Structure 1
Amino acid sequence: MRVVFSKIANDSYEDIIEFLSKTWTEKEITVFVNDVTLIVSKLKEGKFNLYQKYSKDIRSALIGRKHVRMYFKRESKNQINILFFFDMRQNPQKIFELLK
C-alpha cells in the first residue's frame, strides 16, 4: 500500500512540530513523530479499517498524547492519502473547512 502526504498534511505536520519545539520538550516531539511513523507503517500494511471512521473513505487516529488527530483517506485500492493533522485544541469547525 502506498501512503502519500498532501500539501496540507505536510504543512500541518510542520506547524505541529514547530509548536511542540517552542512549548514542549524533545520527548514530546519524539512521541509525536513515532506515532506518525507507526500509523503510516500500519497503513502501508493495509490496516486502514483499524482506525476511527469519519466517513466512508476517511478515517482518523489520535496521536501525540491524544492532542492531535491525523486524517487520512483511501484514494484507491493501493493508495492512502494523509489529508492533514489537526490540533484538537482548535475550533472543530475548522475540520470541515480542511476536508473540502
Structure 2
Amino acid sequence: MRIIFSKVANESYENILEFLSQTWTEKEIGVFIDEAEKVIDKLKEGKFRLYQKYSKDIRSVLIGKKHVRMFFRKDSQIQILLFFDMRQDPQKILELLQ
C-alpha cells in the first residue's frame, strides 16, 4: 500500500526531531525513528486495523517512549496526517487535523 505524508505531518515530524535533538541522546532519537519506520512498514503491509481508532476514519499509535502520537488515515492509500507531542494541549490535535 502506498504511504504519503501530509504537509503538517512533515512539519510536525521535523519539529519533534529538532526538539528531541536538544533533550534526547542520539541512540534514543534513533529508536524513535526506528519505531516510526516500523509502524509505516506495517501500514504498507495493510495492517491498518492494528492501531487505535481516533475517529471514524483516523487511527493513531504512540511512539517514542509513548510521548508522540502518529495519526493516519486510510482511503485508496495511507496518509500520515500528524506527529503530535502528547505533552501539548490535546485541543491542538483538532486544529492540526483540520
TM (norm. structure 1) is: 0.95
After superposition, the C-alpha distances for 1:44-69 in whole angstroms (9 at most, x for unaligned) are 00000000001121000000010000
SS in 1 for 2:87: coil
TM (norm. structure 2) is: 0.97
After superposition, the C-alpha distances for 1:50-97 in whole angstroms (9 at most, x for unaligned) are 000011210000000100000000122xx0000010000000000010
How far apart in 1 are the matches of 2:75 and 2:19? 30
How far apart in 2 are the matches of 1:10 and 1:97? 16
Find the counterpart in structure 2 of residue 83 from structure 1: 81
SS in 2 for 1:82: strand
SS in 1 for 2:65: coil
Output the aligned Cα RMSD: 0.7
Tell me how many residue pairs correspond in the alignment: 98
What are structure 2's unaligned runs of at least 5 residues? none
Letter in 1 for 2:51: Y
What are structure 1's unaligned runs of at least 5 residues? none
Runs of 4+ in 1 over 2 A off after TM superposition: none
Task: Give 1:47-58 correspondences, 5 Å limit.
Answer: 47-58=47-58
How far apart in 2 are the matches of 1:35 and 1:24? 15
Find the counterpart in structure 2 of residue 42 from structure 1: 42
How far apart in 1 are the matches of 2:97 and 2:13? 16
Task: Give 1:1-100 correspondences, 5 Å limit.
Answer: 1-76=1-76, 79-100=77-98
Q: State the Cα distance separating 1:23 from its structure 2 match.
A: 1.1
